[in-house]
Amino acid sequence: MLMSARTGFRSAFRRWRADRPFWGGLLLALGGAEILLTMKASMKVVLHVGMQGLAGYLLPALMLLLGLLILFNPAQRLFYSITAVLLSLGTWLTSNLGGFFVGLLLGVVGSCLAFGWLPDQEPRRSRRQRRNAVAAG
């Protein structure tokens, strides 16, 4: 019984994941979380803008929020991903050089993956599947 529940959950998760830009949203959310965590670093690399560096906390929090929005509302992924890539690049100045480049890169790559995701495209077939289709047909 436990194995069937586990496989049922896995197949349901795979179907849910296939309907959205999962990896793009996940990388973007991880980039925002990483930058938020590096804001607590003892190094004073952050540029303080406004009320004690409010932008340093606001930009990665918005990155995290946009990553979750991409996961749970993929219909608006183009707007979210364009906004997220601009926020990710803005963290270079406001948040310890974009979380010491790790969060910056995660945010930019995740935004690009979400922007390039096409919901109605057929999945690619492997070489073996193509060879078998050519041999059979």
Mean pLDDT of the chain: 85
Q: Domain tally for the chain?
A: 1
The pLDDT score that the predictor gives to residue 115 is 95
Residue 135 lies inside a defined structural domain of this protein = no
The pLDDT score that the predictor gives to residue 81 is 96
Within 8 A by CB and 6+ apart from 52, the residues are none
- Residue 85's domain spans which residues? 2-119
The pLDDT score that the predictor gives to residue 30 is 96
pTM for this prediction = 0.78
Half-sphere exposure of 80 toward its Cβ, with a 13 Å CA cutoff? 27
Q: What would the 3-class secondary structure string for the chain be?
A: CHHHHHHHHHHHHHHHHHCCCHHHHHHHHHHHHHHHHHCCCCCCCCCCCCCCCHHHHHHHHHHHHHHHHHHHCHHHHHHHHHHHHHHHHHHHHHCHHHHHCHHHHHHHHHHHHHHHCCCCCCCCCCHHHHHHHHHHC
Residue 19 is encoded by which pair of tokens? 């309907």
Residue 34 lies inside a defined structural domain of this protein = yes
Residue 133 lies inside a defined structural domain of this protein = no
Write the pLDDT tens digit of every residue in 6-63.
Answer: 788 888 988 888 889 999 999 999 999 999 888 776 656 555 555 557 778 899 999 9
Residue 128 lies inside a defined structural domain of this protein = no
- Find the mean pLDDT for residues 93-110: 88
